[in-house]
Structure 1
Amino acid sequence: MLDPSIRVQVLDSITDIPAEQWDRLAGPEAPPFVRHAWLTAMEESGSAQRDTGWAPHHLTLWREDTLVAASPAYCKYHSMGEYIYDFAWAQAAARMGLEYYPKLVIGAPLSPATAPRFLVAPGENVREARHALMEAAIESAREEGCSSIHVIYPTQEEADFLEESGMARRMTLQFHWKNPGYSSYEDYLARFNSKRRNQLRRERGAAETQGITLRTVAGAELGPEHARRAHGFYAATCERYAWGQVQLTPDFFARIFRTMPEAMQMVEAVRGKRVIAGAFNVVTPQRLYGRYWGCFEEHPFLHFNVCLYHSVDECIRAGRKVFEPGAGGEHKVSRGFEPTPVHSTHLIFDANLNRAIRDFLRREREHLAPAVEEAERLAGLKPWPLTG
């Protein structure tokens, strides 16, 4: 039972919550995507607002003026930028004569990375706080006319809790590079057979023969020109593909480079005196998150060098344990990125649609284990540490 001294409040801007209180809940080890500065940049830059389909709808619990628990949440009017791919569910709803949008999404905009979704202050009853936040989500979602609630990329422990509470659970795959204790890039290559090692060396060596130099710009080195460049590469990639949609504004990049420089990184490919390609990454001491990349010139293996090989080498040098290059990308498997389950949970208010989606998720999950086995087979990584 919720402490009667605690009040529930749903807020339509992250700036209505003091940054120090929000970040105290998130804790010093939280991924940057749930920090106050990141969410502020999303909203204040115009990247995540009602007119872009992301209406802030943050769930908070207060004891007097002290924030004791919170969830970042948004009323969504489309499914872009979530990377959970429920477009077919929206189509099924339409065939049933139902409005799928708006829906309530608990998670961070445009950030397909696992991170805590229920931020609870130290000393508080975590289970009670989570129940209270979900009750607030259900009540406010119904008031807003939402069809459903979706918790995207929660931690596994949170997903277990939500499934036990009655939400439908979805597991999908990303491909993460994991560092079991490499001391050099050659250690990483040694886990492949000779044919694959030669392939990776040839691909990485292509940059030198093309006259391309790779460099990392990070922290205090980052300036406004890097923010402009990051948005330019991001927009160029979005505009190149039919599925692409530019959702982040230039001001978003300017804000996070200014307010969170310690967590920002740009990998740049330089040819002559010109930066021809780049990748925008987010970092912590233990993890690197690949976010967006783009190029202004096409060269063989440029994408692999900018987005994968250079950062793998730097993760080994820095002792980072995991490199998450983002959603999708089965091509990563043959380059040593391992299949890793990620989670989402779903509460559909319409009984018929709920039944259909749960049946779909059951069948989808039956195919997950074989998919993981096939990906591991294609990766062909030798067990570490190597023996013999």
Structure 2
Amino acid sequence: MSKPAIPNITLEACHSLSDIPRETWKRLAGTDNPFLRYEFFEALESSHCTSENTGWKPCHLVFRTEGEIAGVAPAYLKSHSMGEYVFDWAWADAYRRYDMEYYPKLLIAVPFTPSQGPRLLLDPQLRNALNPRQIHNLLDTLVGHLGAHSWHLLFPSAEDQQLLQQDEQLHRIGCQFHWHNQGYGCFEDFLGRLTSRKRKSIRKERRQVAEQEISFTRFHGRDLPDHVLAAFYVFYRATYLKRGQHPYLSRQFFEQIRQTMPEHLHVIMAIKDGKMIASALFLSGKSTLYGRYWGCLEEYNHLHFETCYYQGIELAIDLGLQIFDAGAQGEHKLVRGFEPVLTHSWHGIAHPGFHDAIEVFTREEAEQVMAYYEDAKTVLPFRQNDGA
């Protein structure tokens, strides 16, 4: 049965979030996912974290039917590939070696956030009418109008995947590790599902943190004091400075989301001898806890695992959330009860020769990722009689 036709579907770009009515974005995006909130993107722009100067020029997409907004998507014109977590540096280098421009590129994604979720925020009637070929054609045409050379849509939801799935298009897969709540009432319930050896190992790690006389205090966004947020930012900034980089996000950004979307915000602070020594910031959605930012000034045994993973698991259990997404990569999460999950991205490359070469690369890469994904499932720490 063919999809109902909607005439006059157009796609355009807005170079400021303020060009899109707040209520329209809210109607299409909802409020369940913190990374899709209007307030989140507003904080990125007003704090100048996403700007032409940072290489993240706002270029948000607007779908119209009969002239009325029927869909939006967060998007940016990028002049580099930093902060994306789907790496295309080799593609850019290949263009450079042939004296061709790879940038600017159109990126459809949540900045600095390797978490799966909706990217095409469409009215249900428009979603039902669109097919993958139309989506790809609309994006290809827009790229040409923008003077870009490619488009990239990162970490889409399963629903968006169905709208992007087209055999001849460039599709990449990746592997992350997420923790799943099996109705646990407490952390010990979770440990009870692990093999004896893994259970003892985690208890030993947690005990060694406690033996260093480190304790933890949890702050909700509605009750997050200035001095705690200030300390968190020092730790967050240090994470980047240790690698010789500047942090992607400014203190103003965090202050603004504390004010405009505090219900999603959680900070866990590690304390020793009455002093704050490390911190992790989490954002919660309707069913998922997202572990996003962490930092410390001095290294302590197992402090990272405790602050970012075990404290996060306890927070997810207490909030009744089903999934804990602790960020990209990190196969060390496997032995701590995080399960492998496939992620996706879609890419439109304007140059036919490079398109064909990259298509070969993505097919070979997908075989390697799938092999890695299957291998990862064999080393999960759950007891076999749990069927994990």
Q: Which amino acid aligns with 1:289?
A: Y
- Partner residue in 2 for 1:256: 257
Deviation string, structure 1 residues 132-161 (Cα, Å, up to 9, x no partner): 665443223212321211000111232232
- Partner residue in 2 for 1:115: 117
8 Å CA contact 1:168, 1:347 repeated in 2:
yes
CA shift, 1:8, in A, is: 4.3
8 Å CA contact 1:59, 1:133 repeated in 2:
no
Q: Identify the match of residue 201 of structure 1 among 175, 200, 203.
A: 203
Q: Give the aligned CA root-mean-square deviation in angstroms.
A: 2.2
Aligned runs of 1:96-245 on 2, under 5 Å?
96-128=98-130, 134-164=136-166, 166-242=168-244, 244-245=245-246
TM-score normalised per structure 2:
0.92
Deviation string, structure 1 residues 56-93 (Cα, Å, up to 9, x no partner): 11111346885321111101111111100111111122
Pair 127,381 (structure 1): closer, same or farther in 2 beyond 3 Å: farther
Q: Which amino acid aligns with 2:209?
A: A
SS of equivalent to 1:84: coil
- Partner residue in 2 for 1:297: 298
Pair 123,157 (structure 1): closer, same or farther in 2 beyond 3 Å: closer
- Partner residue in 1 for 2:360: 359
Q: Tell me how far apart the structure 1 counterparts of residues 167 and 123 of structure 2 sit (CA, whole Å).
A: 21
Deviates more, 1:169-178 or 1:361-370: 361-370
Q: Tell me how far apart the structure 2 counterparts of residues 26 and 352 of structure 1 sit (CA, whole Å).
A: 37
SS of equivalent to 1:81: coil
Pair 280,78 (structure 1): closer, same or farther in 2 beyond 3 Å: same
Aligned length: 384
SS of equivalent to 2:328: coil
Q: Tell me how far apart the structure 2 counterparts of residues 129 and 23 of structure 1 sit (CA, whole Å).
A: 24
Deviates more, 1:354-363 or 1:139-148: 139-148
8 Å CA contact 1:60, 1:133 repeated in 2:
no
Q: Tell me how far apart the structure 1 counterparts of residues 68 and 254 of structure 2 sit (CA, whole Å).
A: 31
Pair 306,329 (structure 1): closer, same or farther in 2 beyond 3 Å: same
CA shift, 1:18, in A, is: 1.8
8 Å CA contact 2:10, 2:138 repeated in 1:
no
CA shift, 1:219, in A, is: 2.8
Pair 258,383 (structure 1): closer, same or farther in 2 beyond 3 Å: farther
Identical aligned residues as a percent: 36
Q: Tell me how far apart the structure 1 counterparts of residues 170 and 131 of structure 2 sit (CA, whole Å).
A: 20
Q: Identify the match of residue 3 of structure 1 among 2, 7, 11.
A: 7
Deviation string, structure 1 residues 111-141 (Cα, Å, up to 9, x no partner): 1111111111244444439776654432232
Unaligned 5+ runs, structure 1: none
Deviates more, 1:60-69 or 1:195-204: 60-69
Q: Does residue 277 of structure 1 match 2:278?
A: yes
- Partner residue in 1 for 2:92: 90
Unaligned 5+ runs, structure 2: none
Q: Which amino acid aligns with 2:107?
A: V
8 Å CA contact 2:132, 2:166 repeated in 1:
no
Q: Tell me how far apart the structure 2 counterparts of residues 167 and 117 of structure 1 sit (CA, whole Å).
A: 18
Q: Which amino acid aligns with 1:24?
A: R
Q: Does residue 26 of structure 1 match 2:17?
A: no
Deviation string, structure 1 residues 280-319 (Cα, Å, up to 9, x no partner): 1111241100101001222100001100001112222322
